[in-house]
Amino acid sequence: MIHDANGRKIGQVTQLHDLSLSDITPYWGDVAAAAATEGAGGIHEAVQNATLKKTSADK
């Protein structure tokens, strides 16, 4: 969940695929980097959408 400074929910980022430990063990560093990159992109998009929504509402 992503909340604004007032505690209102502005978005949510979730993981699409469940991975077993055996699937990622040899590649955990690469998997972690990819997950972090995708998660950050999702957070950025949610914040940007909330900002655009607020800007439109303020007009």
6-57 per-position pLDDT tens digit: 999 999 999 888 888 898 899 999 999 999 999 999 999 999 998 888 777 7
> What residue has token string 């590649």?
27
45 within some domain: no
| Domain span holding position 5 | 1-38
User: What is residue 54's predicted lDDT score, i.e. its pLDDT?
Assistant: 74
Q: What is the C-alpha to C-alpha distance for residues 44 and 24, in angstroms, rounded to an integer?
A: 26
51 within some domain: no
31 within some domain: yes
Confidence of residue 2 (pLDDT cuts 50, 70, 90): very high
46 within some domain: no
User: What is residue 59's predicted lDDT score, i.e. its pLDDT?
Assistant: 66
12 close to 4: Cβ distance less than 8 angstroms? no
Q: Residue 24 corresponds to which amino acid?
A: I
8 within some domain: yes
Structure-block tokens of residue 7: 């505690």
Total domains in the chain come to: 1
